[in-house]
Structure 1
Amino acid sequence: MIGLEYILSIYNLQHVELAEILGIKKQNINMWVKQKQNIPKKYLPVLEDLFAVRSNYFSREITEIDKLEIQKEKLKKELKPLIKKREQQFAIGEINDIVEKTIYDKEEINTIERDIEKAKLVSKFKEALDIVDNNPYLDTYKLIVELMEKVQHEAVLHKTIEALAHYYEVLPTFVNSQPEQEEFETEIFEVFDDHNC
């Protein structure tokens, strides 16, 4: 599904209604949605303003993450949330860095942002699984999933994963979730060093 079609569906807007707003024929909208004709550049800013979404969403096939992003922008437009506070957090992604996370006064916005973050994690996990066709570490992934299902709230699991992230320099040393993490890591790093082949 292309972005414009999805956007029209969540706004419950018919092709003819959008055509009237833009002052064009319904057939033009049909051609855009069917990708038989590109959306003329002069209409992109109008669509951006109308739906509060960047123009790159309108003409391309969209992902589940894109759908969530579009829903978030629709919610922002409807609820007009205020920024309650901004928090610094470490983000792991293409560039591992400290980023500013916005917390809104409307929980619906915060919830959809968490949903987007979860969807991105699931996507990255799937990409990691698909790195090779016959993944030799499939058992490791199975164990990770089992641990996340059964003991995700256990402190020792979080501390150990954070220690591994520090050990392999995925996470900078200045990022610590708890004050006692450094002491824990000093001890566990000795074990890692003893067993690292």
Structure 2
Amino acid sequence: MIGLEYICKLFDKKYIVLAEELGVSKQAIYNWINKKKAIGKKHLPILSEMFGELPEEFFQKELTELDKLEIQKIKFANEASMYGDTFNEQYTDYEIDIIKLTNEIREVIDKKFDDEAMISHQTPYEVLEATKSVQALYEKLTKIIKHGGIDTNIIDNVMEGMINYQLGKSNSRYEFINEITKLVEQEQTKQT
């Protein structure tokens, strides 16, 4: 979706009203949204000001999910400044972090697929199964957290113990983490 279209929807701005405020025809707005014509350079600073000092580049480009969240963040920050409330800005940062995490998960799974595909003695089915195993780990963690019943600090400590094993660290200030590290080491030894 092109920026101007998304911004108008987000700010609940009707195209006819926007056209009147800019002194252009409604058809010009439709041409901009449908990418038949570029937004005139004289209109970009006016649009930016009209929509709370949004950066001009957002109006003509195809927006990514991160772009949309950045626009929301600016809108919320402008609204929050009237009330002195920073919750909306923090929430938008949280949403941006979730999208980044989702992208990182995809990258890990894609890398696992690519790495497995490089091993010449594996069939395509075996490559797919190896990749699914990584996906299954994320799904299991999601189920554990979603179901509840296990304090997230315990989950964090278990993962910390596994990371300590990877890094060769065996000395944590928490005995539980040290025990997890030892258990991972024992199981890894059995696997090799």
- TM-score, structure 2 as length reference: 0.68
Is 1:72 paired with 2:65? no
Q: After superposition, give the CA deviation of every residue in 1:176-197 in whole Å (9 maximum; x if it has no partner).
A: xxx835x666665566666376
Q: After superposition, give the CA deviation of every residue in 1:20-52 in whole Å (9 maximum; x if it has no partner).
A: 222222222111100111122332222222223
Distance change >3 Å, CA 106–CA 190, structure 1 → 2: same
**1:140 matched to which residue of 2?**
134
Is 1:128 paired with 2:129? no
**2:58 matched to which residue of 1?**
57
CA contact (8 A) 1:81 1:106 kept: no
Shift of 1:6: 0.7
Distance change >3 Å, CA 55–CA 127, structure 1 → 2: farther
**2:158 matched to which residue of 1?**
160
Alpha-carbon distance between aligned partners in 1 of 2:46 and 2:176, rounded to the nearest angstrom: 56
Distance change >3 Å, CA 168–CA 41, structure 1 → 2: farther
Same amino acid, percent of matched pairs: 31
Q: After superposition, give the CA deviation of every residue in 1:78-105 in whole Å (9 maximum; x if it has no partner).
A: 22168xxxxxxxxxxxxxxxxxxxxx84
Alpha-carbon distance between aligned partners in 2 of 1:123 and 1:42, rounded to the nearest angstrom: 37
One-letter amino acid matched to 2:94: R
SS of equivalent to 2:42: helix
Distance change >3 Å, CA 45–CA 166, structure 1 → 2: farther
SS of equivalent to 1:41: coil
Alpha-carbon distance between aligned partners in 2 of 1:142 and 1:32, rounded to the nearest angstrom: 44
CA contact (8 A) 2:69 2:96 kept: yes
Q: After superposition, give the CA deviation of every residue in 1:116-170 in whole Å (9 maximum; x if it has no partner).
A: 211221232223323437542321321232123214743332123345456657x
Alpha-carbon distance between aligned partners in 2 of 1:61 and 1:107, rounded to the nearest angstrom: 28
- TM-score, structure 1 as length reference: 0.67
CA contact (8 A) 2:165 2:185 kept: no
Alpha-carbon distance between aligned partners in 2 of 1:21 and 1:168, rounded to the nearest angstrom: 61
CA contact (8 A) 2:164 2:181 kept: no
Alpha-carbon distance between aligned partners in 1 of 2:29 and 2:55, rounded to the nearest angstrom: 18
Rg larger in structure: 2
Gaps of 5+ in 1: 83-103, 174-178
CA contact (8 A) 2:45 2:56 kept: yes
Is 1:118 paired with 2:98? yes
Q: Which has the higher strand share?
A: 1
One-letter amino acid matched to 1:160: V
Q: CA RMSD in A?
A: 3.1
Alpha-carbon distance between aligned partners in 2 of 1:142 and 1:164, rounded to the nearest angstrom: 17
SS of equivalent to 1:143: helix
